[in-house]
Structure 1
């Protein structure tokens, strides 16, 4: 009796469902789990066993997957060769751009990429969403103080070196909501470091709120931050919770990319 095959994934006419499913299976492999059996992949993917078997057989034929002596699956060398070639040409801006686009599209607000510098957080890229608000004063090349706005603050929270250099008793108040008291700021930063993200509301620009997450390098040091900013009234309730989730996910995924980059 023929075993039924799952229908193709939903999408436009140009989307090949079988390829998407094969990609989903490849994504299961990682440093923490380099080898999978057929039964394990079937359970983890939610696909039926016949579909998984046929997709993995195709990937083996293509040279992307190998079988172990025990009959399990592992990623083959061409995947690493292609990945290494791509990573060698990648920088933080090109790595972050797709995630910035996702955030700008999802929420309609502006996505920012900032990197640490001695004089402050430098905005090296931004992508505006569909909303009409343009945040005045934050452009590519803008240098911002570390103790205000979500992107700079989340870098300050995750970097002992930046804290030692930046936190002093004479921090300027950019708005009446900027935290300048050292003890209060340190407590605020400790909470951000523990949570893994920062929230800001009118501490840099009145009426503007933002969510930021850190991007870390191989040694755990801060190399950048990704954030989304817009009207403060849009950063509330379920919408805020979703922004936090997606910004944190973007930061984590870019971190994994940056940590995979070859040293050079």
Structure 2
């Protein structure tokens, strides 16, 4: 998977391949796997052992990586210092932008970032893909009721507070596919919560489908949703499966970034 904001052009003369390789090695380190041996990094990266050894030696010299007493590699303090500095100025829009661009570029659909508000889900950012469909009804500033469209629905599924305030028996229908029955809506939200994503199909705008996943803070509370939307026929079969995986992955990565921001 490309890193957020990566242009995708390998012919750019300003790009230094060795630096990209070093960065890709660093991306394997995380909370779930804080240390790696040389052999393990060689296997997971697909690079040869000599290249991995030289890159890691360079990262150690730069202060980005340390060695454990057993000889394994771990992230150095310098990375945390730089990361903390960046996080102090980070907000949800800037944290999500690169992932939204990747989704829009990768699938050609329009990517959306929405946050919860009193009257519904507010679209605070969007990135258009190359597909010809322009979803005219959803722009920055648009407020969508929580019981329709993928982005709002996934937020409703992940917030008991929103559920208690929003679900009722007189919900308006936007199309003949809008879910307005309170009992059926609750059952649908339970499925969304269990599966970790929401899928909509012409329930807010005819002919438009979308996939959304929640962005969660360190306490488990909902922050926002990220989604992609486009023509219904582009959200079927293997294409749909790929979009679900990528949107869920983007949401998880953004959640991790937001959870790291100092309180």
* Aligned counterpart, 1:138: 138
Q: Report what 1:157 is aligned to.
A: 157
Structure 1 SS opposite 2:246: helix
Q: Distance in 1 between matches of 2:145 and 2:209?
A: 16
Offset at residue 38 of structure 1 (A): 2.0
CA distance in 1, matches of 2:104, 2:148: 22
Structure 1, unaligned runs of 5 or more: 1-9
- Partner Cα separation in structure 1 for residue 34 and residue 105 of structure 2: 34
- Give the aligned partner of residue 185 of structure 1: 185
Instruction: Give the structure 1 partner of residue 10 of structure 2.
Output: 11
Give me the whole-angstrom Cα distance separating, in 2, the residues matched to 1:158 and 1:213.
10
2:111 matched residue in structure 1: 111
- Of 36-45 and 248-257, deviating more is 36-45
Q: CA deviation at 1:48?
A: 2.3
* Alignment coverage as a number of residue pairs: 254
SS at the partner of 2:87?
Answer: helix
Give the SS at the match of 2:223: strand
Q: What does residue 5 of structure 2 align with?
A: none
* TM-score of the superposed pair, with normalisation by structure 1: 0.91
Q: SS at 2:200's partner residue? A: strand
Task: Answer with 1 or 2: which has the greater Rg.
Answer: 1
Deviation at 1:136, TM superposition (A): 2.4
Q: Offset of 1:18 from its aligned partner?
A: 1.9
Query: Following superposition of structure 1 onto structure 2, how do residues 1-264 of structure 1 map, counting pairs within 5 Å?
Result: 11-12=10-11, 13-263=13-263
Task: Tell me the SS of whatever aligns to 1:33.
Answer: coil
The corresponding residue for 1:3 is: none
Structure 2: unaligned runs, 5 residues or longer: 1-8
Structure 1 residue 210, shift from structure 2 partner: 0.8
Aligned equivalents of 1:127, 1:47: Cα separation in 2:
34
Q: List per-residue Cα deviations over 1:123-168 (Å, max 9, x = no partner).
A: 1111112223222221111111000000000111111111111111
**RMSD after superposition:** 1.5
